[in-house]
């Protein structure tokens, strides 16, 4: 019997500590410990890794990460009501669980962990995309993390792994796939959560590539992609007007037809265009 088995079931934890779900904090809890262990396993071998978890809540996924052998878990939780429940877990794993009562958006997370670092979280929906974009756009690459294993609304997960030509393809797909392998590794129905959200969810696994797939200046690429998808139904020569005076020539030089639309252009194409614009 592992140490985790001596903790009470999560429904009991929630009742004991009065953790009624708050919508404003995106609280949809996972109470099935088999499921949380499964998510933790999707992050790969955790032994020898520090893990950052955002939003541990009552600690279901936290338990999974510890059982799966994470060297240390740093769990950042905004809701102070969850702290006593998390302290019970920490007591069973001396020195392996540090709980920070903080807003993940304000935290210098890397200061609290030692590489190799993995990030695993059932993210609060209201800040999930914002956190992802920050993790995907550090000042230097490779990033301080090795992999991200993150729960999103299914619709967001679809946008992350979308390929050119699809409606879901856009800035998020390019940001994610330019410097990572990103794939959906699990899908979950609303009933998996308490309370059940209105939408389905999915876990996306991101593995950081040692270097970007194609060369480009990140700031220029971000500017080109944002502008191109801002008016995604327009032809690129119109959508990108004003980016440089000779945008049609730059498009052609990058091997892109000026009459194409943003969603038809591969990541390689956008990188070629970013290099033309920068040059």
Q: Which is nearer to ligand SAM, 76 or 186 (CB)?
A: 76
To ligand SAM, the closest distance from the beta carbon of 30 in angstroms equals 4
Residue nearer to ligand SAM on the CB measure, 15 or 105: 105
Q: What's phi and psi for 195, nearest 5 deg?
A: -70, 160
Return the sign of the alpha-carbon dihedral for residues 27, 28, 30, 36.
negative
Residue 55 or 170: the one with the smaller Cβ distance to ligand SAM is 55
For ligand SAM, the closer CB: 26 or 143: 26
- Please state the closest distance from residue 64 (CB atom) to ligand SAM, in A: 9
Residues that bind ligand SAM (CB under 6 A): 25-30, 54-57, 60-61, 76-79, 82, 103-105, 122, 124, 127
d(CA 259, CA 279): 22
Q: How far is the CB of 78 from ligand SAM (least distance, A)?
A: 4
Closest distance to ligand SAM from the beta carbon of 21 (Å): 8
Instruction: Give residue number: closest CB to ligand SAM.
Output: 55
The nearer residue to ligand SAM, 113 or 240, going by C-beta atoms, is 113
The minimum distance between CB 49 and ligand SAM, in angstroms, equals 18
Burial of 197 per CB tally in 10 Å (0-12, 13-18, 19+): middle
User: Is the CB of 75 or the CB of 172 nearer to ligand SAM?
Assistant: 75
CA gap 90, 53 in Å, rounded: 14
Q: Is 30 helix (H, G, I), strand (E, B) or coil?
A: strand
DSSP 8-class letter at 93: S
Instruction: Return the structure tokens found at 83.
Output: 């702290």
């Amino acid at each position: 019997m592992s140490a985790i088995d001596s903790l009470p079931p999560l429904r009991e934890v929630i009742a004991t500590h009065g953790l009624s779900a708050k919508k404003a904090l995106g609280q949809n809890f996972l109470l099935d410990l088999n499921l949380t262990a499964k998510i933790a396993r999707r992050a790969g071998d955790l032994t020898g890794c520090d893990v950052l978890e955002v939003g541990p809540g009552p600690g279901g996924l936290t338990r999974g990460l510890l059982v799966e052998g994470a060297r240390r878990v740093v769990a950042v939780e905004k809701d102070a009501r969850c702290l006593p429940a998390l302290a019970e877990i920490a007591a069973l794993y001396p020195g392996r669980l540090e709980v920070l009562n903080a807003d993940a958006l304000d935290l210098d997370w890397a200061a609290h962990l030692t590489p190799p670092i993995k990030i695993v979280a059932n993210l609060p929906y209201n800040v999930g995309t914002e956190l992802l974009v920050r993790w995907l756009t550090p000042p230097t690459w490779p990033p301080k993390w090795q992999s991200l294993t993150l729960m999103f609304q299914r619709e967001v997960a679809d946008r992350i792994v979308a390929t050119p030509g699809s409606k879901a393809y856009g800035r998020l797909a390019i940001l994610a796939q330019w410097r990572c392998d990103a794939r959906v590794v699990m899908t979950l129905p609303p009933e998996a959560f308490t309370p059940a959200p209105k939408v389905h969810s999915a876990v996306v696994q991101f593995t950081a590539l040692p270097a970007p797939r194609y060369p480009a200046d990140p700031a220029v690429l971000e500017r080109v992609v944002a502008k191109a998808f801002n008016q995604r139904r327009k032809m690129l020569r119109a959508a990108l007007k004003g980016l440089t005076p000779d945008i049609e020539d730059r498009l052609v030089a990058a091997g892109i037809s000026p009459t194409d639309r943003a969603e038809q252009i591969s990541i390689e194409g956008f990188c070629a265009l970013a290099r033309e614009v920068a040059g």
